[in-house]
Structure 1
Amino acid sequence: MALSKGLAGVIADQTRISSTHNAILSYAGYPINELKDAPFEEIVYLLWHGQLPSRDELAAFRFELVSQMALPYETVQLMARIAREPQHPMSILRTTVSLPGTTNDVKRDEPPRILGKMLAAIAAIIRIRNDQPIKHAHRQWGVVENFIYLFSGKRPTASEVKMLNTVMILHADHEFNASTFTARVVASTQSDYYSCLTAAVCALKGPLHGGANEQVFHMLETIHHNHQDPVEFVNQRLAAGDKIMGFGHRVYKNGDPRAVILREIAKTLARDTDNMAYFDLQEQISQVMAEKTHLHPNVDYYTALIYHCFNLDAETFTPMFAACRTAGWLAHIIEQQARGCLIRPSSEYVGQTNRHYPTGKEENAID
C-alpha cells in the first residue's frame, strides 16, 4: 500500500455529518454559506440528527440546551482550584472535561446535557482566571446569547450575538480534522462521551490545530507593539524558514471559505471596538503572504481578532474553539459508536530487522 504522510488524502471512513468535497464545506448536505446565519441550535440539531428541526423541535431543543448550561456544585468547587493554576487554559479544560466523567450520573449525560456543560465550563474557566464570579444562564435567552453572557458577564447586543453565532457555526464541524478523528478513535472503542471529548481537547490544544488562533494574535501583538513593518516582519520570518500561522490549509488550496465570512465579521468588530489597527495589519500580512507564498488565510486567521474584540485573552482562544467544535465532536462520537467498528490502522515498519537477542553471555546474566 502507498504511504500517505499524515494520512493526507486517505479516506478513513464514511460520514453523513459534514464534507469538504471540492473545497466546499457543507453540513449534512447544506453548503455553509446558506447556514451561516441560521440559529446555532438549529445547526447543532442538524449535525446530530441529519435534518433540520421543525419550529417546535427547535424551540424544545433550544430550551433543553440552555437548561443544561450549568455545572454541578462539586465540579465548580474543583474548577475554582485548578483554573487558577499557572497552566494554559487548555490544560485546565482537559481536566475539567474529565471531571464530570467521575460523577455517578454519567449514564444520563446525553449530548444536549454534555454540550451545555462544556459551554458553561469554558465560560467558567474564563471567569475564574479573571477573578470574576461565575454567571448563570437565562432560560429565556438562546445558547449563543447565554454563552457570551456567561464568559463576559454582560448581556450582548443583538449584533454581537449574530456575529458570534456565525463564528460558532463555522467552527462547529470540519469532517475528519485531527481532534475529531481523535474523538472517533476513542469512540470506536465504545468508551464514554467524556473520555472521547477529553481526547479531542488534547488534540485541539496543539499549535498546529486549535492553538493556531492564539499564535496568530501573538504575531499581531508583536508587530503592533514593536511598531514593526508587517511586510518586513513576514519577509524576515519566511527567510528564516519560519511558519506564518493562520495561512494555508490541507484541504482548501485556493482559500478557506470560512475565512471569507470571518473576515467581514472581524472587520465589523474591529471597527466597533477600536481595533482597526490589528485588522489593517492582517490585511497587509494577507497581501504579502499571497504574493510571496500564494497561501490564503484559514479559519484561525480572522478568528484571533474576533475573539480579541470580545475582550478575551489570547490564551482562551483555543478553549473558545473547543466551545464551538464540541457540537461536531459529539456528532462524530454518536456516529462512530453506532458503527461498532474499532479503528485500528496498520503501519509500515522501517526499523532494523533480523536482529537476535544475545543469549548465554556472562554480561547478560542476572546476579
Structure 2
Amino acid sequence: MTLPKGLAGVVVDQTKVSSTQGAVLTYAGYSIKELKNAPFEEVVFLLWHARLPSAEELNDFKKLLVSKMVLPYETVQLMARIAREPQHPMSILRTTVSLLGTTNDIERDDPPRILAKMLTAIAAIIRIRNDQPIKHVHKAWGVVENFIYMFSGNRPTPEQVAQFNTVMVLHADHEFNASTFTARVVASTKSDDYSCLTAAICALKGSLHGGANEQVFKMLEKIRQTGQDPIQYVAQRMAGGHKIMGFGHRVYKNGDPRAAILREIARQAAHETGNDDYFALQEEIKDYMFKTTRLHPNVDYYTALIYHCFNLDRQTFTTMFAACRTAGWLAHIIEQQSEGCLIRPSSEYVGETNRHYFADKEEKIID
C-alpha cells in the first residue's frame, strides 16, 4: 500500500458544498470570483442550501442571523473569567464553544443560531482581552457591519464593511481542509454541532492551518522592528530550513485565487490606515519568494495585513479565520450528518511483528 503523506490528493468522500477542482474555488458551483462581493449572508445561505436565496429569503435570513447575535447570560459570565487568562485566544475560543454547548439548549439549536453566537463570542473574547466593554448588536445593521462594530467598538465605514465582507466570503469554506474534515469526522459519529465545532477549532489552531496568518504578521513585525533587510531575513530563514508562512498551497500550484483578490483589499486597507510600508514589505517578499522558489502567496499572506489594518492583535487573527469558516463548517456538518455514515478509515501497520511477550521479558531478565 502506497499513500501520499497527509492524504494529499486522496478523495475520501463527495460533497456539494464547495470544490477546488482545476485549482478553481467554487461554492455550490459558483466561482468565488463572482461571489467575492456578494453579501456574506447570501453566501452562507448558498453553502447551507446549495442554492441562492430569493430577495425575500435573503432579507429574512439577515434579520434572523442578526437577531441571534446575543450570548446567553451564563456564557458571558464565564467568558469574563476565562478570556482574561494568559492563554492563546484560540484556546479561549475552544473553551467558549464548549460553554455554548452547555449554556444553550442543544436540542433546539440550529445553524443560524450557532453561527450568530460564534461571531458574537469571538468579538466578545477580543473585547474582554482588551479590557473593553462588550458591544451589543444593532438590529438594523447587517451581520458583517455588526461583527466589526462588536469587536472594534466603532461603526465601520461602508468601505470597511465591503472589505471585510469579501474577507469573510473568501474564508467561508474550502472543501475538505484539515479543520473541516475534523468537523466531518465528529459529525459522522452523530455528535452535537458544538462538539463538531470544538474539534474543528482545535485543528484550526495549528500553525500549519489557521495559525499561519498570525505567523505571517509576526514575520513582518520582526523585520520592521529589527530594521533587517527583508530579503536577507527571508533568505536566512530558508537557509536554516524554516518555512516562510503565507506561501505555497497544496491545491493551488499556480497561485491561490483568494490571495489575488485579497491583495487589492490589503493594498487599499493599508493605504487608508497608514500601513503602506507593510504592504510594500509584503510585495518585496512576494517577488523574492516567486523568483527563488516559484511559490505564490496563499490566503493567509494578505489576510494578515488586512486584520492588522482593522486594529486586531495578531494573536486574534486565527479567531477571525474561525469566525468566517464557521459558515462552511456548519455546511459540512449538516451534509455529513445527513449521510448517516461513520468515518472510520483503515491504516497500514509498519511496526515490528511476530514479537512474544514472555520470551522478551525472559530475555530482559537474563540480560
The two structures have a TM-score, normalised by structure 2, of 0.98
1:360 deviates by 12
C-alpha separation in 2, matches of 1:20 and 1:5 = 19
Equivalent positions of 1:298-309 (< 5 A) are: 298-309=298-309
Amino acid at match of 2:43: I
C-alpha separation in 1, matches of 2:104 and 2:139 = 26
Structure 1 partner of 2:207? 207
Equivalent positions of 1:110-149 (< 5 A) are: 110-149=110-149
Amino acid at match of 2:235: N
Amino acid at match of 1:161: V
C-alpha separation in 2, matches of 1:336 and 1:11 = 15
Matched, 1:185 2:155: no
**Quick check: 2:259–2:299 contact (8 Å CA) kept in 1?**
yes
Identity of aligned residues (%): 75
In 2 relative to 1, CA 283–360 (structure 1 residues): closer, same or farther, beyond 3 Å? Answer: closer
Structure 2 partner of 1:77? 77
Equivalent positions of 1:310-325 (< 5 A) are: 310-325=310-325
Runs of 4+ with deviation above 4 angstroms: 359-365
Runs of 5+ consecutive residues of structure 2 not aligned to the other structure:
none
1:238 deviates by 1.2
In 2 relative to 1, CA 357–323 (structure 1 residues): closer, same or farther, beyond 3 Å? Answer: same
Amino acid at match of 1:4: P
C-alpha separation in 1, matches of 2:100 and 2:359 = 51
C-alpha separation in 2, matches of 1:179 and 1:98 = 16
Amino acid at match of 1:356: H
C-alpha separation in 2, matches of 1:359 and 1:294 = 55
Equivalent positions of 1:15-26 (< 5 A) are: 15-26=15-26
1:241 deviates by 1.2
C-alpha separation in 2, matches of 1:55 and 1:5 = 45
1:363 deviates by 10
- After superposing the two structures, state which structure 1 stretch, 323-332 or 233-242, moved more: 233-242
1:2 deviates by 2.6
1:103 deviates by 3.0
C-alpha separation in 2, matches of 1:347 and 1:245 = 30
Matched, 1:354 2:350: no
In 2 relative to 1, CA 222–50 (structure 1 residues): closer, same or farther, beyond 3 Å? Answer: same
Matched, 1:160 2:165: no
C-alpha separation in 2, matches of 1:159 and 1:58 = 22
Equivalent positions of 1:167-316 (< 5 A) are: 167-316=167-316
> CA RMSD, aligned part only?
1.4
In 2 relative to 1, CA 84–362 (structure 1 residues): closer, same or farther, beyond 3 Å? Answer: same
C-alpha separation in 2, matches of 1:57 and 1:360 = 69
C-alpha separation in 2, matches of 1:174 and 1:71 = 28
Structure 1 partner of 2:13? 13
Amino acid at match of 1:81: R
SS of 2:125 mapped into structure 1: helix
Structure 2 partner of 1:337? 337
Amino acid at match of 2:14: Q
In 2 relative to 1, CA 364–259 (structure 1 residues): closer, same or farther, beyond 3 Å? Answer: same
C-alpha separation in 1, matches of 2:179 and 2:104 = 27
Amino acid at match of 1:170: L
Runs of 5+ consecutive residues of structure 1 not aligned to the other structure:
none
1:22 deviates by 0.3
In 2 relative to 1, CA 120–361 (structure 1 residues): closer, same or farther, beyond 3 Å? Answer: closer
SS of 1:184 mapped into structure 2: helix
1:261 deviates by 0.2
1:102 deviates by 1.4
C-alpha separation in 1, matches of 2:276 and 2:227 = 15
SS of 2:69 mapped into structure 1: coil
